[in-house]
């Protein structure tokens, strides 16, 4: 690891957009820590990245586990003394995919989705924030979705008007709210906090029907992770463009 290399944590980094984000960041010289639910998955991913010339470390991190979150903070404190980039990439979809399920959504479905997509993000970020504050230019990227845009959902002319799955959409709308509030809290620091819409990407969640390839889906997260001092904070971005909340 280069002495001045930035340190990044990507959650859910063992596949899909998370893995590609780790690759793209690593190729810029960032040291990447790949979080995955199992240590074996994290180790396999880190080995794959190292074989590609990337400085990578594995980390067992089920974001819904308080013990794993605490262990992650200890890992960064002991190993690096700080954290420069946190990409809250891990997330889950509705069990029904993106079929409309609204008034009939079950409590356990709401709890499952909000637990990963919102509550775990808040808890992990809180755990790691003291280490991010030690960075000269901390960056927090929350992986959201255009389906979290209340403005577009309310507009009959919008392209997502007919795509309504409340549990997933609501979790991402709430995540966007967290981005706004955290950015405000940190407005007098060098830390920037933004929500990223990766696009509709050919992943396990996005399916093969998606129009975007995985490398393009990682571009927004990478750009927000590497923002300069003049970059935005408290924004909802897709490929450099502001999205409506």
27 belongs to the catalytic site: no
Which pair of tokens denotes residue 1?
């690891």
Number of H helices, E strands in the chain: 9, 8
CA distance 36 to 196: 20
- Tallying the residues shown for the chain, one arrives at 245
6, 57, 168, 178: which is the annotated catalytic residue? Answer: 168
Which pair of tokens denotes residue 69?
């979150």
8 burial via Cβ count (<10 Å: 0-12, 13-18, 19+): buried
Pair 56, 35: CB distance under 8 Å: no
Distance, C-alpha 146 to centroid of its chain: 14
Phi, psi for residue 33 in degrees, rounded to 5 = -110, 120
172, 178, 192, 219: which is the annotated catalytic residue? Answer: 172
Pair 164, 202: CB distance under 8 Å: no
CA distance 159 to 179: 24
172 belongs to the catalytic site: yes
Query: Beta strand pairing status for 241-242 and 56-60?
Result: unpaired
Residue-wise DSSP of 8-49: EEETTTTSHHHHHHHHHHHTTT-EEEEEESSHHHHHHHHHHH
Catalytic positions are 168, 172
């Amino acid at each position: 690891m280069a002495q001045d290399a930035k340190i990044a944590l990507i959650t859910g980094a063992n596949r899909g957009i998370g893995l590609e984000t780790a690759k793209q960041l690593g190729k810029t010289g960032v040291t990447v820590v790949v979080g995955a639910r199992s240590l074996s998955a994290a180790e396999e991913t880190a080995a794959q990245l190292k074989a590609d010339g990337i400085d990578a470390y594995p980390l067992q991190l089920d974001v819904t586990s308080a013990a794993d979150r605490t262990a992650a903070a200890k890992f960064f404190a002991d190993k690096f003394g700080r954290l420069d980039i946190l990409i809250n990439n891990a997330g889950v979809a509705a069990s029904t995919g993106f079929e409309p399920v609204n008034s009939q959504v079950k409590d356990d479905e709401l709890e499952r989705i909000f637990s990963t997509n919102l509550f775990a993000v808040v808890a992990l970020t809180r755990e790691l924030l003291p280490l991010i504050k030690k960075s000269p230019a901390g960056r927090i990227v929350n992986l959201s979705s255009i389906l979290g845009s209340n403005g577009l959902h309310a507009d009959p002319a919008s392209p997502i008007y007919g795509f309504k799955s409340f549990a997933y959409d609501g979790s991402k709308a709430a995540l966007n709210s967290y981005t706004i509030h955290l950015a405000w809290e940190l407005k007098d620091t060098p830390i920037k906090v933004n929500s990223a819409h990766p696009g509709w990407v050919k992943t396990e969640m996005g399916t093969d029907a998606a129009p975007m390839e995985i490398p393009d889906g990682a571009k927004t997260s990478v750009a927000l992770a590497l923002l300069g001092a003049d970059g935005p904070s408290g924004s909802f971005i897709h490929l450099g463009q502001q999205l409506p909340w």
